[in-house]
Amino acid sequence: ARFAPIYGDSAVVSMHSGMTPAQRLKSWLAAHSGVARIVLGTRMAIFASLPKLKLIIVDEEHDPSYKSGEGARYSARDLAVYRGRLDGAKVMLGSATPSLESWHHSRPAAEGGRYLRLVMPSRIGSITALPTAQGDTTRLVNDATAANAGLPVVRRVDMNHQPKHCVFSPPLLAAIVERIARGEQSMVFLNRRGYAPVLHCADCDWKSECPHCSAYRVFHKIDRTLRCHHCGYAERVPRACPACGNPDIAPMGRGTERLEEHLAELLLEVRRPNSVSDQWPEGEPVRIVRIDADSTKLKGELQAQLARVHSGEVDVLVGTQMIAKGHDFRRITLVAAINPDNALFSSDFRAPERLFSLLMQAAGRAGRDADISGQSEMWVQTFHPQHPLFDALKRHDYPAFAAEQLKEREQAGMPPFSFQALVRAEARTQEVAQGFLSAASAAATQMAQADQLLAHLTLYPAVPMSIQRVANVERAQMLIESPSRAALQRFLAAWQAVLHATRKQPVGRGLLRWAIDVDPLAI
Kindly tell me which of 62 and 227 has the beta carbon lying closer to Zn ion. Answer: 227
The radius of gyration of the chain's CA atoms, rounded to the nearest angstrom, is 26
Considering the complex, what minimum distance in angstroms separates the CB of residue 216 from Zn ion? 9
Those residues whose C-beta lies under 8 Å from the C-beta of residue 195, and which sit 6 or more positions away, are 218, 219, 220, 221, 222, 251, 254, 255, 257, 258, 261
Nearest of 89, 81, 37 to residue 58 by alpha carbon: 81
Query: Where on the chain is the footprint of Zn ion (CB under 5 A)?
Result: 201, 203-204, 206, 210, 212-213, 228, 230-231, 233, 241, 243-244, 246
Strand partners, 187: 317, 335
Of the two residues 186 and 208, which places its CB atom closer to Zn ion in the complex? 208
For Zn ion, which is the closer residue by CB, 32 or 229?
229
- Residue 402: count of CB within 10 angstroms of its CB: 20
Minimum gap (Å) between residue 149 Cβ and Zn ion: 48
> Facing residues of 380 across strands?
156, 337
Under DSSP, the state recorded for 472 is T
Neighbours of 409 (CB within 10 A): 19
SS3 348: coil
What lies within 8 Å, CB to CB, of 166 at 6+ separation is none
Residue 454 Cβ, how far from Zn ion at the closest point, in Å? 38
Q: Closer to Zn ion by CB, 70 or 248: give it.
A: 248
Q: Which residues of 218-255 are buried (b: 16+ CB within 10 A; e: fewer)?
A: bbbeeeebbbbbbbeeeeebbeebeeeeeeebebebbb
Cβ closest to Zn ion, residue 370 vs residue 471: 471
Give the three-class secondary structure for 74.
strand
The minimum distance between CB 115 and Zn ion, in angstroms, equals 42
Minimal distance in Å, beta carbon 230 to Zn ion?
A: 5
Closest CB 511 distance from Zn ion, rounded Å: 21
Q: Where are the beta strands (DSSP E) in 367-451?
A: 377-382, 419-427
**Measured from the CB atom, is 93 or 470 closer to Zn ion?**
470
Q: Is 188 exposed, middle or buried (0-12, 13-18, 19+ CB in 10 A)?
A: buried
- Taking the least distance from each CB to Zn ion, the nearer of 79 and 231 is 231
Question: CB neighbours (10 Å) of residue 97?
Answer: 25
Smallest separation, CB 218 to Zn ion (Å): 10
- Please state, in angstroms and as integers, the Cα–Cα distance from residue 286 to each residue in 158, 169, 271, following that order: 27, 19, 6
Residue 167 or 213 having the CB closest to Zn ion: 213
Nearest approach in angstroms of CB 241 to Zn ion is: 3
CB of 510 to Zn ion, least distance (A): 21
Q: Are 294 and 318 in contact (CB under 8 A)?
A: no
Residue 213 or 462 with smaller CB distance to Zn ion: 213
Which residue's CB is nearer to Zn ion, number 179 or number 469? Answer: 469
d(CA 179, CA 186): 7
Helix (H, G, I), strand (E, B) or coil at 321: helix
Distance CA 92, CA 272 (A): 46
What's the closest the beta carbon of residue 190 comes to Zn ion, in angstroms? 22
Q: Smallest distance, Å, CB 322 to Zn ion?
A: 22
The residue among 212 and 271 lying less far from Zn ion, judged by its C-beta, is 212
In whole angstroms, the minimum distance from the beta carbon of 105 to Zn ion comes to 39
Residue number, 179 or 217, with CB nearest to Zn ion: 217
Contact 34, 52 (CB under 8 A): yes
Q: Distance of alpha carbon 259 from its chain centroid, rounded?
A: 21
